[in-house]
Each structure stands twice: as C-alpha cells, then as structure tokens.
Amino acid sequence: DQQVKQNSPSLSVQEGRISILNCDYTNSMFDYFLWYKKYPAEGPTFLISISSIKDKNEDGRFTVFLNKSAKHLSLHIVPSQPGDSAVYFCAARTGSARQLTFGSGTQLTVLP
C-alpha cells in the first residue's frame, strides 16, 4: 500500500502559466513533507518543504500548500518556465528514524 500517492504521472503546462502538482497521503503520523525535482541522468534535488503544523510555505516561484484534514498537499509553480520541466516527487517524513516515503513522481513538461 502506497502511503504517498501522486496520481498524475504527467502534466503539461504552457510557459508563464501556473503548474499545480498534487500529492495525497494516508499516514497521519507524517510530520514533515518535502518536494524534490529530478532531471534526467541526475539525482533528485530538494526543492521546498513544509511542516505539518503549517498550511503554506513559499519560496520564490514555488509554494507548497498542506491540507491536513484532506491529507493532501500541492506544489504551485508560478510562473512556469521551460527549465521547470522535470519529474517532481513528493516525500513525507515519519518516525524517530526520520525516514522519507516517496510518491511515484509527476513528469512536468512546460511548453514554450
């Protein structure tokens, strides 16, 4: 059973528009959530995170929203740029070992 789900394998957006990537989770013990971006032939790189005690965190063009009651988080990219084209993974942290559980990823394509 996947505890962190990204139900959209792919998303295409026009340059300059908003990209919204979604992530759902089932484990209420997750206390911290992270988004990673991955380009081909590279490892994932950290993008933005949010604590479970907050509902929004913003960093430049990137904003993450957390809805705990719905067990849902989303990543907004505004405005989207062609260089944002990558696979985006959401991840959730739990336990004293602080392990991360990853979603399956969403391929974002920003069209020029």
Partner 1 sequence: DADVTQTPRNRITKTGKRIMLECSQTKGHDRMYWYRQDPGLGLRLIYYSFDVKDINKGEISDGYSVSRQAQAKFSLSLESAIPNQTALYFCATSDLTGYNEQFFGPGTRLTVL
CB 88 within 8 A of CB 10: no
The correct pick among 49, 57, 107, 109 for binding partner 1 (CB under 8 A) is 49
The correct pick among 43, 60, 83, 112 for binding partner 1 (CB under 8 A) is 43
CB 108 within 8 A of CB 35: no
Check residue 60 for interaction with partner 1 (CB under 8 A). no
Write down the least CB distance from residue 79 to partner 1, Å.
26
Binding mask 3-32 for partner 1 (x = CB under 8 A): -x-x--x----------------------x
Residue 35, CA distances (Å) to 21, 63, 112 in order: 10, 10, 24
What CA–CA distance (Å, rounded) separates 107 from 86? 6
Binding mask 84-103 for partner 1 (x = CB under 8 A): -----x-x-x---xxxxxxx
Return the bridge partners of 72, or none.
24, 67
What CA–CA distance (Å, rounded) separates 53 from 110? 32
When the beta carbons of 74 and 79 are compared against partner 1, the nearer one is 74
First to last CA, the chain: 37
Write down the least CB distance from residue 1 to partner 1, Å.
12
Write down the least CB distance from residue 15 to partner 1, Å.
27
